[in-house]
Amino acid sequence: MFQSRPCIANYRGITGQPKRGVQSVGKSTQDWIQRVRARGRQLESLDDQSFRASAARCRDRIRVRDDAVVLDNTIESFALTGEALRRTTGMSYYDVQLCGGFVLAAGTIAEIQTGEGKTITTALPTVLHAWSGRGVHVATTNDYLSSRDHDELKPVYDMLGFSVGLLQPQGPVEEKIEAYACDITYGPGYEFGFDFLKDQLAIRSRHQTRLGERFLRSLQGIDSHEATPAQRGHAFAIIDEADSVLIDEATTPLILAGGKSSAATSPALYQFARRISLDLSEDDDYIIDPIKRTIRLTPDGWKRIHQRFDSRPPGQLARPWSQLIENALRAERILQCDVDYVVQEGQVMIVDPNTGRIHDERKWSSGLHQAVEAKEQVEMTDENETHARITRQRYIGFYDGVAGLTGTASDSESELREFYRLPVVRIETNKPCVRQHLPLRCFDSCRNKFDAIADDAAGRSRRGQPVLIGTGTIQESKLLSRRLSEQGISHVVLNGLQDDEEASIVRRAGVSGAVTVATNMAGRGTDIKPDAGALAAGGLHVAAASMHACQRVDRQLAGRAARQGDPGSCQFYAAADDELIQSRGPDLAAEMIASAGPTGECRKDFSVALRRIQRQAEADALVQRQRMVAHDDWMESVQSSLARRA
């Protein structure tokens, strides 16, 4: 698994506690911060030309000796970064941000609360490790955030003499090569992983292509970039929203697929399998596991589907007949439109359950995507052939050094340490957080829950308080939007269907009286700034329409309110027919219904029971990741053994 490398700074006194558990910052950092401040005051007196010369000397000193991690060089680098930030943006670092920079430079996960300026804090370790010229990868959760952070910090990097690139998902290989050649490269975490897999395929194809063939291709003028690796190495990675990238997204491996499978199932067979699946009965013919979201045929169901096997239309089967039926059942009974996927322009597009974003380039494997296309009656695409795969845990292990930051690392401290050898260090806030956490409200049905959310939002909006309503799915956002419209409440929706408008919607969400309905897209990285009228009315109010299976996601959503000492509030809602409660707590659902009053609101407090369900879901996800990593380790040992025998 992941091994720490010597390029990580190891400053004595960076933490003041034992190695296990969430750590706090040691007293030594206060002396270091004062040294950064003193050097920064000296740099302020320099003109731009002299300042750039100082930056060049720092670069040469570090590059020649390769000793960026020496404390004196770190202090010089931080001072230069702070002065470049001041000259280009007018902002200055708070002490807690400099403290976060030292923690990140030491190769740890810094728990920095939402609204504390994580974006500019990231620049400190980025610049420190970029001096070496080996390249720094800055990974975010999605392309919107990577583009935003790249654009915000590019003037700082330019002033210090660095080149900075941005990965465009599905961009041409020439642009990828150019982006990776830069001193600093921004991009979504998954994009770095997929590009690594593409590079491995390129290297493999280059080794398999005979010399004569390459010469002939060059004579014919055929572009040979397809066999050129884009990444030039894995020196240092800084991961924003590290718990999302390293844990939530790490439940499934990165799989690179493409091209038409050599053994594809004909579209008519998918349609035939769907028709048969609609005739089957739950419990008698198949069993649904709502927690694992899987379907298994019973012995009676297996017999029934094979009785109709001979009446199938002509065509090739790429997989067992029972798997075709189980895919059809899963498409019909488990996967939901506007929850797990959307249909746009005649295509089935997967919705990321962690971020709420739509990925038109992703497909389910093993014929499941085609089963969903048959369900939605859209043109069926070809099955892709899997070319390569890797777990995120293994990919991160290729880096010489890794650091990360997030506002919700403490809940995952043990997993971050076990899988990635990354300790968690908590950073204090610049100003005390004054967020008001209102009591959980529970209802007997989503309908009554939505009515209560709409009524509360209407009252707050009339008082001038902006409201952000967070939903778990696109479907939920549409239902809430309809309820708000029925009550005449003006609002906007951000649910993955308005990519081009995302930045402007986020900007307007803090306007006095504004009401915004958003999926998980607004739960991480979005900085909603309340205007003066909004602050006077109590600041941003966050209403969470449902509880997520992972409490960290709920904490991220609540963190949109009351940032940097501003006023704000949050409140969570739950209903007996919420998917989380239905799948994991049917007895709890019955109890909630029984305790409901005339308006459908429960008289009892179910917060403890709901938190218990969340912990169970988190534990199940951890087991899934552990099994995936164990399988990956076993596969690597088998491949290594075969390679030694060859």
Question: Do the bridges between strand 436-437 and strand 568-575 make them parallel or antiparallel, or are there none, so unpaired?
Answer: parallel
Complete DSSP assignment for 211-224:
HHHHHHHHHTT---
Residue 118 known to bind ligand: yes
- Between CA 568 and CA 101 the distance in angstroms is 27
Spatial distance between the Cα atoms of 453 and 572, rounded to a whole number of angstroms:
10
Torsion 524-369-621-580 (CA) sign: positive
Residue with tokens 């930056």: 55
Give the length of the chain.
Answer: 646
117 is in an annotated binding site: yes
Residue 352 and residue 646: Cα distance in Å, rounded? 41
551 annotated to a ligand binding site: no
CB 225 within 8 A of CB 201: no
Instruction: Give the whole-angstrom CA distance, residue 418 versus residue 362.
Output: 30
The token duo for 315 is 């065509």
Q: Is 89 annotated as a binding residue?
A: no
241/260 Cα distance (integer angstroms): 35
Report the alpha-carbon distance of residue 452 to residue 32 in Å, rounded.
Answer: 51
Q: What are phi and psi of 627, to 5 degrees?
A: -65, -40
Question: Is 624 assigned to a binding site?
Answer: no
**Are residues 324 and 269 in contact, defined by beta-carbon separation less than 8 angstroms?**
yes
DSSP-derived 3-state class of residue 344: strand
Q: Any binding-site annotation on 375? A: no
What tokens appear for 580 in the block?
A: 């989380």
Q: What is the dihedral of CA 392, 397, 399, 404, to 10 degrees?
A: 60
Q: How far is it, in rounded angstroms, from Cα 144 to Cα 355?
A: 11
Tokens 């695409």 sit at which residue? 381
119 annotated as a binding-site residue? yes
For residue 391, CA distances in Å to 156, 191, 350, 367, 456 come to: 34, 13, 20, 21, 44
Is residue 124 within 8 Å of residue 162, measured between CB atoms? no
In angstroms, the first-to-last Cα distance of the chain is 25
529: its two tokens: 């700034």
Query: Which residues make up each annotated binding site?
Result: 97, 115-119, 527
Query: Which residues make up each annotated binding site for ATP?
Result: 97, 115-119, 527
